[in-house]
Structure 1
Amino acid sequence: MPREKSAFEQLHPCDFYTPDELLEADQMYTVYEIARLLQGLEPTAEIDEETEAILLDWAIPWVMQNAAELVVADPPTEDDPGYYGLRRGTDIERE
């Protein structure tokens, strides 16, 4: 249910990291790791499933918004997530 802005003590700008600020150029990350990084956590930080689900609510739109600056790799197995990384000129073979 919507709330009046006046109901909040303070409002903050909705700023997110850019891919260059968040990701290392030579690394690939799962969306779960990106979710942690967006919150200032280490990519391998242990968090409970409920918190992880909330963090994914931020990470998935971030990946979609920044898709032009990212590359994606297939998961190692069918049960694993895919991997995302910074797009560099030589990362994708042209057909």
Structure 2
Amino acid sequence: MPRPKSDFEQLHPCDFYTAEELLKTDQMYTVYEIARLLQGLDPDAELEAETEDILLDWAIPWVMNNADDLVIAEPEADDEPGYYGLKSDDR
């Protein structure tokens, strides 16, 4: 249910990293790894499932918003996530 803005002590701008600021040009990342990076965590950080679900709420819109700057690679198996990386001239 929506809440009034006055319920919150502080409101922050909704600024996200650009794809170039977040990702290394020679690496491909799963959406789970991107979710961790958006929070300043190591891409391999261990998280509880509930925490990871919350972080995905940030990562999925970020991927969609930055889609023009990204390339996609197929997952290695049907039950695994795909990979995202920066577009580059060499590939």
- TM category (shorter chain) comes to over 0.9
**Count of aligned pairs between the two proteins:** 91
Give the whole-Å Cα distance in 2 for the aligned partners of 1:2 and 1:80.
Answer: 34
Of the two, which has the highest radius of gyration? 1
Q: Over residues 4-57 of structure 1, what are the superposed CA-to-partner deviations in whole Å (9 max), with x where a residue is unaligned? A: 111111111111000000000000000000000001100000000000011111
CA distance in 2, matches of 1:63, 1:10: 26
Q: State how far apart, in whole Å, the 2-side matches of 1:4 and 1:31 are.
A: 31
Structure 2 CA distance for aligned equivalents of residues 45 and 8 of structure 1: 30
The Cα shift of 1:84 comes to: 0.2
Counterpart in 1 of 2:52?
52
Q: Secondary structure at the match of 1:75?
A: coil
Identity %, equivalent residues: 71
Q: Partners in 1 of 2:90 and 2:29 — Cα distance?
A: 18
The structural deviation recorded for 1:80 is 1.4
Secondary structure of the equivalent of 2:26? Answer: coil
**Bigger RCO (CA 8 Å, 6+ sep):** 2
Single out whichever of 45-54 and 82-91 deviates more from structure 2: 82-91
Aligned-partner Cα distance in 1 for 2:3–2:9:
12
1:67 corresponds to = 67
CA distance in 2 between counterparts of 1:8 and 1:79 reads 40
Letter in 1 for 2:63: V
Gaps of 5+ in 1: none
Match in the other structure for 1:27: 27
The CA RMSD over aligned residues, in Å, is 0.8
